[in-house]
Amino acid sequence: MSGGVLEVLLVSAEGLKHARLIGSSSQYVVIECGTHTSVTKFTGDEDGKTWWNEKVSFSLSSMEMKSLFKMKLSIMERSNITEDCPIGEATIHLLDFLREATGQGSVEVKPAPYKVVLKDKTYKGEIKVGLKFISGGESQVQCGNMVYGFHAKQSWCFLWEAILNCTLRRIYRKRPFGYCARGRQESKKEK
């Protein structure tokens, strides 16, 4: 088995039981894939359905793939006053999926519903997730209008460079010092 990139497309969830009785709910998902963990954005509940439409990528080495059997998705409800409340979790078994992917080079599973298990081990609701694995392939990082591609076998320096370029560009646009000296000088000359 060679390494590669596992892309998880988190689409939506519906029929979830809310952890709190009062207040509006804002949910997010904690994705645990082997030693990697990722947290999605916060999103609200619309007509009993929660939408994320978010893609998360995990770069896996060949050693990580050998020990990776499942991925756990923990659905959490955000709370501003107390600790965040767990709603439930879903488990996706990856062993057969990764075996097939390494043999073919690339495999994609269209978004499918997975049952959500509550704390009391009952099922309530479902979460829709799609998977894609690229064996030693390429993935993309999107930042604003720019899309940065990187090869899974390349060093992480290129990925960090893309992230820093995007972040520094955003900081520069916000003008952290509150004013632009050039603009103030030009307006004084016009008077």
Give yes or no: residues 42 and 75 share one domain. yes
| Structural domain includes residue 186 | no
Are residues 89 and 45 part of one domain? yes
Give the dihedral of Cα atoms 35, 146, 111, 5; nearest 10 deg.
-40
Is residue 188 a part of any domain in this protein? no
Do 40 and 103 fall into the same domain? yes
Please indicate, yes or no, if residue 28 is contained in any of the structural domains.
yes
What is the reported pLDDT for 10? 95
Confidence band of 58 (pLDDT split at 50, 70, 90): very high
Residue 142 has what pLDDT?
Answer: 47
Per the prediction, the chain carries an average pLDDT of 77
17 CB-side CA count, 13 A? 14
Position 51 in a domain: yes
Q: Clarify whether residues 113 and 169 are in a common domain.
A: no
Both 124 and 147 in one domain: the answer is no
Asked, for residue 124, whether it belongs to a domain, the answer is yes
pLDDT one-digit tens code per residue, 175-190: 444 444 444 444 455 5
Q: Per-residue pLDDT for 1 more than 60? A: no
The answer to whether residues 156 and 99 belong to one domain is: no
Residues 31 and 96 in one domain: yes
Q: Which of 4-13, 32-41, 175-184 has the lowest mean pLDDT?
A: 175-184
Comparing 24 with 8, which gets the higher pLDDT?
A: 8
CATH for 86 = 2.60.40.150
Please report whether residue 185 resides in a domain.
no
Mark whether 29 and 66 lie in a shared domain.
yes
What residues have CB less than 8 Å from 39, skipping those under 6 apart?
Answer: 28, 29, 30, 31
Q: For the chain, give the percent of residues with pLDDT over 70.
A: 67
Pair (87, 153) in one structural domain: no
Residue 13 CA to residue 126 CA, distance in Å, equals 6
Collapsed DSSP state (helix, strand, coil) of residue 121: coil
Query: Is the pLDDT confidence value at 90 over 50?
Result: yes
Per-residue model confidence as pLDDT tens digits over 129-159: 999 998 875 444 444 444 445 444 444 445 5
Structural domain ending residue among the three candidates 135, 152, 185: 135
β-strands 106-117, 43-46 pairing: unpaired
Do both 19 and 81 map to the same domain?
yes
* For residues 12-26, average pLDDT: 72
189 by Cβ neighbours in 10 Å (0-12 / 13-18 / 19+) ranks as: exposed
Residue 189 lies in a domain: no
**Residue ending a domain, choose from 135, 167, 185:** 135
Same domain, 130 and 153: no
Compare 183 and 54 and report the one with higher pLDDT: 54
- Quick check: 89 and 64 in contact, CB under 8 A? no
What are 129's two structure tokens?
Answer: 């997730």
Domain count, the chain: 2
Establish if 183 belongs to a structural domain. Answer: no
Q: Is residue 113 located within the same domain as residue 131? A: yes
- Mean pLDDT confidence for 25-42: 91
Higher pLDDT, 48 or 59: 59
User: Where in the sequence is the domain holding 155, given as residue range(s)?
Assistant: 137-177
